[in-house]
Amino acid sequence: MSKSILIGAVAALAGAGVVVVLWAGLRQKPENLQLSAQQWHEDLQFLAHELPKRHPNAFHFTPREDFEKAVSDLDSKLPNADADAAWVGLQRIVSLVGDAHTYLQTPQDSASDLPIDIAKFGAEYRIVSADPSVASTLGARVIKVGDMPIARAAELCKELFSRDENPTSSDSFVSNTLTSGGALHGLGITRNRNLVRYTLVDDSGREFTIDARSSASDAASVRPFKDAPLYMQNPEQPFVCTYLSEARALYCNVRAILNLQKPAAEMLNLIRERSPEKLVIDLRQNRGGDYTVGEKYLIQPGRDLPSINKKGHLFVLIGADTFSAAMNNAAQFHTQTDALLVGQEIGEKQTVIRNPEA
């Protein structure tokens, strides 16, 4: 076996509130998966066997026969598939399980380093950050990727994401995938994994194209603002608080539900020192951790602050990337405190996947 696969399968056990993490394969990430058809076949069979065995109920969304047919169809295509197409095929199969905790971890390579970032606004996709070399694209609307209309390209990218999650989560995934050269090549959207042509329209209606080349540039991206908003500041810190004197509010960006004891104590000290009228907990970039840690160090202390735990004084910001333990903690804020949840619909569904054999 080539050991090229890394499967992250996480699911809640029947009603117990326990999260189990299952990992298989991949001792080190290769830069490129230039494997033989036989090696891809072995990896596919490994995935098809191990995923249902390790997941509490791999067929809670897609019937077993449909899963097995997808495996068979991909197996027949592997002799003529390149690395990107083979990997995309594996991603499609894993997405059939339906929950976002079950995924294929794509190896990082230079094709992922395209010089633009795209985000969805309503039905439109726009450039929201860009390398200085293509700074003129900032804010432009994307209408084509390669020769394909953006709506169709987005549909194909969506096939690689968990099929039974909320639309906000799949939209976030699609926006990221639209700038992944390897995925776009594997999906047949572009001919070259390291160079992707985008057709754009600026606000004056002028249509133009750029050839976005993958690179490892360290240049800071250009964004549509002079000063970074609070949620983008101090990106290296998993828990950072800022007192906003004019609003008499304490804003705390919590990016992970891990190791919260010390930073949460510092937050409580700031509350005692500053006596803010409002507390804002930002979970929009939080991909999870251990929800019991969040309950102990965020929710319970917030609940016990009479000046904060009342309507209009405690806010929790949520969004498409509020995931796993962060999703659980947001729900606990809602049920155990007077917090107001503000933002987008949370991307992940709160679902218990029951083991049919339990």
- Chain-centroid distance, C-alpha 218: 23
Q: How many C-alpha atoms does 36 have within 13 Å on its Cβ side?
A: 5
Could you give the CA distance from residue 144 to residue 189 in angstroms, rounded to a whole number?
10
* pLDDT for 323: 92
Could you give the CA distance from residue 328 to residue 340 in angstroms, rounded to a whole number?
15
Query: What is the pTM (predicted TM-score) of this model?
Result: 0.85
| pLDDT tens sequence across 63-119 | 999 999 999 999 999 999 999 999 999 999 999 999 888 988 876 776 777 999 999
Is residue 111 within 8 A of residue 185, CB to CB? The reply is: yes
* pLDDT for 152: 98
* pLDDT for 21: 37
* pLDDT for 18: 32
* pLDDT for 12: 36
Q: What does the block give as tokens for 28?
A: 């080190």
* pLDDT for 227: 87
- Residues (pLDDT < 70) of the chain are 1-32, 107, 110, 216-219, 350-358
* pLDDT for 4: 46
